């Protein structure tokens, strides 16, 4: 077993075949060398039933990985692609250019008991078709319904792309995969994701109306599962690469503009666009936190010029500037820039929402008073210093404020 933190891999080697099952999320840490190190089989079968998420960075790494595998392996075969993979099969133009998709997981829903699951459907020279016989619910026995739009969900599986499998690959899938992953090998193999991840899909037991109020990340996952796309939509590798470069450069407005343009052009399905927007916001929040921590560290190390630049960066990313005005003012004061320090002290006290006795508020009042005295604006300084000296008993500047008041009497 191999695990990289977000993705786990299990493998079996049998003759010329290397079979690898992936569990978890495919993101920017996806490394094809981890697959190659699992065995030397010239025919690779990837079981994707338990892939629960793939980020846009993961899509980029996936496309690169498939292109590399195609130069090393005779065949790369995808089986039991989970709904999140089917989303990308439909939406990303070159997602499966270097591999053969043999089967997918199709979402089914039971009206009788609000249970949903996935059913394995094979792909053949006619594309994908729903099973002729009803699919019984394992929870209550009632007939389940396909929980997608058939034409859209199966849009990627065009008959002209179908290539028959070599007999030894077909035999492996029929014998090991079907018999090994289920109790039996039924014509329609109904399998539940909760078997691979008992903790990951407990939301499936929740009645559908309740799902409206659950966390946004889960709501997004459900939206992606029910994505409706057309056969002609597809994101090019070049567009994805440009999008990733903007994310890597923290140019989030440009990344969002790209998403808007692709949706307007019809190359990006709405739900995938929402996923990409959510990713931009997630990375923006992460960058916000990282730059704020860096700015505070630079201030503690007395690197005030660099700290100011980094405070500007974190504010540009959407960090609330109100709590930062004091530290920014301190940077300017210590750099010998009293005008800018005064301006930020004023911004801090005017926007302060905490306990006026907290450290920082009295400091800002004192330094405003000190600045105003030096500017000859004594009447403006007096009420600020009186407040520190008389109304804030816990202030460390109480005595200093009193002395300044005495100096202007």
Residue 178's pLDDT is 58
Choose among 237, 238, 263, 275: nearest CA to 96.
237
Q: What whole-number distance in Å separates Cα of residue 398 and Cα of residue 154?
A: 74
pLDDT band, residue 195 (cuts 50/70/90):
very low
User: What is the domain class of 2-225 according to CATH?
Assistant: alpha beta
Mean pLDDT, rounded, for 307-318: 92
Q: Any idea which of 83-87, 285-289, 358-362 has the lowest mean pLDDT?
A: 358-362
Q: What whole-number distance in Å separates Cα of residue 23 and Cα of residue 43?
A: 20
- What's the CATH superfamily of 320-407? Tetratricopeptide repeat domain (1.25.40.10)
Q: Check pLDDT > 60 for residue 274.
A: yes
Where in the chain is CATH 3.30.750.24?
Answer: 2-225
Q: Check pLDDT > 80 for residue 216.
A: no
Note the pLDDT tens digit of each residue in 28-74.
Answer: 889 999 999 988 889 999 999 999 988 888 888 999 999 999 999 99
Q: CB count, 10 Å around CB of 304?
A: 20
Q: What whole-number distance in Å separates Cα of residue 381 and Cα of residue 373?
A: 6
Note the pLDDT tens digit of each residue in 73-82.
Answer: 999 999 999 9
Q: What whole-number distance in Å separates Cα of residue 119 and Cα of residue 204?
A: 15
Residue 190's pLDDT is 32
Note the pLDDT tens digit of each residue in 130-189.
Answer: 888 889 998 899 999 998 888 778 888 888 778 888 889 988 888 776 554 433 322 333
Give residue for tokens 């997918």. 104
Q: Any idea which of 113-117, 235-239, 258-262 has the lowest mean pLDDT?
A: 235-239
CB 28 within 8 A of CB 58: yes
Residue 205's pLDDT is 40
Note the pLDDT tens digit of each residue in 371-389.
Answer: 999 999 999 999 999 998 8
Q: What whole-number distance in Å separates Cα of residue 298 and Cα of residue 385?
A: 30
Residue 316: exposure state from Cβ atoms within 10 A (0-12, 13-18, ≥19): middle
Residue 312's pLDDT is 94
Backbone angles phi and psi of 358, in degrees to 5: -65, 150
For the chain, what's the residue count? 409
Q: Check pLDDT > 80 for residue 246.
A: yes
Residue 359's pLDDT is 65
- Interacting residues of 209 by C-beta distance below 8 A, sequence separation 6+: none
Where in the chain is CATH 1.25.40.10?
Answer: 320-407
Q: Check pLDDT > 70 for residue 223.
A: no
| Nearest 10 degrees: Cα torsion 309, 310, 311, 317 | 110
Q: What whole-number distance in Å separates Cα of residue 220 and Cα of residue 60?
A: 20
Give bridge partners of residue 78 from the DSSP assignment. Answer: 46, 101
């Amino acid at each position: 077993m191999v695990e990289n933190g977000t993705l786990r891999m299990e493998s079996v080697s049998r003759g010329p075949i290397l079979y690898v099952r992936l569990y978890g999320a495919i993101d920017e840490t996806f490394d094809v060398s981890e697959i190659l190190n699992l065995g030397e089989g010239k025919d690779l079968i990837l079981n994707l039933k338990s892939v629960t998420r793939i980020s846009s960075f993961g899509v980029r790494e996936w496309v690169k990985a498939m292109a590399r595998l195609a130069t090393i392996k005779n065949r790369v075969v995808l089986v039991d692609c989970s709904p999140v993979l089917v989303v990308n099969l439909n939406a990303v133009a070159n997602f499966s250019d270097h591999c053969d998709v043999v089967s997918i997981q199709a979402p089914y829903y039971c009206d009788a008991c609000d249970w949903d699951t996935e059913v394995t459907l094979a792909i053949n020279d006619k594309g994908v078709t729903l099973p002729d016989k009803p699919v019984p619910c394992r929870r209550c026995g009632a007939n389940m319904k396909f929980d997608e739009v058939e034409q859209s969900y199966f849009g990627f599986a065009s008959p002209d792309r179908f290539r028959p499998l070599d007999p030894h690959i077909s035999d492996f899938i029929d014998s090991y995969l079907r018999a090994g992953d289920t109790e039996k090998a039924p014509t329609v193999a109904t399998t539940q994701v909760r078997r691979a991840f008992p903790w990951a899909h407990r939301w499936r037991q929740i009645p559908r109306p309740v799902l409206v109020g659950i966390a946004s990340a889960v709501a997004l996952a459900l939206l992606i599962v029910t994505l409706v796309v057309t056969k002609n939509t597809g994101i090019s590798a070049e567009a994805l690469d440009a999008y990733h470069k903007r994310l890597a450069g923290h140019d989030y407005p440009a990344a969002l503009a790209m998403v808007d343009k692709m949706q307007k052009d019809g190359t990006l399905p709405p739900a995938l666009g929402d996923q990409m927007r959510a990713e931009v916001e997630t990375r923006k929040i992460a960058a916000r936190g990282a730059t704020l921590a860096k700015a505070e560290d630079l201030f503690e190390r007395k690197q005030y010029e660099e700290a100011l630049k980094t405070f500007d960066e974190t504010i540009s990313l959407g960090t609330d500037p109100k709590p930062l005005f004091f530290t920014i003012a301190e940077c300017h004061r210590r750099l010998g820039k009293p005008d800018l320090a005064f301006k930020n002290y004023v911004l801090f006290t005017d926007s302060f929402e905490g306990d006026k006795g907290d450290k920082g508020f009295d400091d800002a009042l004192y330094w405003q008073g000190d600045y105003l005295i030096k500017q000859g604006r004594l009447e403006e300084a007096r009420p600020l210093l009186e407040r520190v000296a008389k109304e804030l008993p816990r202030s460390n500047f109480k005595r200093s404020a009193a002395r300044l008041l005495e100096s202007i009497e």
